[in-house]
Amino acid sequence: MSIRVRQLALFAAAAVVVVVAAYGIGKVTAGYFNDDAARLYLSARAYATDELVARMNTIVVGGQIPDHAFLLMNGDTVQLSRLLSTRTLLIFLDPTCPMCLGQAEMVTRLAQTAEERRHFLFLTNADEMQTRQVQADLGVTCQILRDADGSFHHALNIHSSPFGVLVNSNRVIERIVTGELLENEITQIARSE
């Protein structure tokens, strides 16, 4: 093998080592910054949630959500209490809100089994056509409940989205979230007993 070929081979090997090292360092760095960004987002979201809930003055952690009658997509009426699992995230869905649609898409992707889907209920005061369009466009498989006259939204004074309320089977509020949930939060709720 000539000196020139050996030099090229060594150069190529060194380049591969540098690329692999850079990739590894990049992954570690990205993980650090992603974790840091997630912590900052969660902190800002918690602050925003506290501020909004204080202004709403209608729901609090430890309080109870009313047992409202909702319209199912097939036109039947159902009481909220009949659909609640041990932990259910009520996600207030506005079909005109890109963040809401992103949240619905993420929940649909992550809650794949019937057991996982039962922990999520989408609530909307949108008309039937808008709701069906969102369901079809995103392939939403979780239950969508229509608050046709908006009375549930009005009673809770909910005018922002995305907005979520985690309740137990007795309709007691465990957590209130304004803004998008992260993938790991959705997965944790989907896998709750």
Compute the distance between CA of residue 91 and CA of residue 163 in angstroms, rounded to an integer: 6
Q: What integer pLDDT is reported at residue 29 of this predicted model?
A: 42
Q: What pLDDT is stored for residue 6 in this prediction?
A: 53
Out of 15, 35, 57, pick the residue that ends a domain.
Answer: 57
Residue 149 belongs to domain spanning: 61-190
Give yes or no: residues 141 and 110 share one domain: yes
pLDDT score at 179: 86
Give me the residue label for tokens 């007795």.
Answer: 170
Q: What is the CATH number of the domain that holds 135?
A: 3.40.30.10
Amino acid present at 36: D
Indicate whether 37 and 72 sit together in one domain: no
Domain count along the chain: 2
Q: Tell whether 90 and 148 lie within a shared domain.
A: yes
What pLDDT shows up at residue 131?
92
Compute the distance between CA of residue 49 and CA of residue 179 in angstroms, rounded to an integer. Answer: 8
pTM of the model: 0.77
Do 114 and 66 lie in one domain? The reply is yes
Quick one: 140 and 174 in the same domain?
yes
* Average pLDDT per block of 10 residues along the chain, 193 residues long: 53 39 43 67 76 79 95 93 95 92 93 94 93 92 93 87 91 92 91 82
Q: Are residues 37 and 90 in the same domain?
A: no
Q: Are both 158 and 91 inside the same structural domain?
A: yes
Residues 118 and 49 placed together within one structural domain of the fold:
no
**Among 116, 134, 112, which residue's Cα sits nearest to residue 125?**
134
Q: What is the pLDDT of residue 24?
A: 43
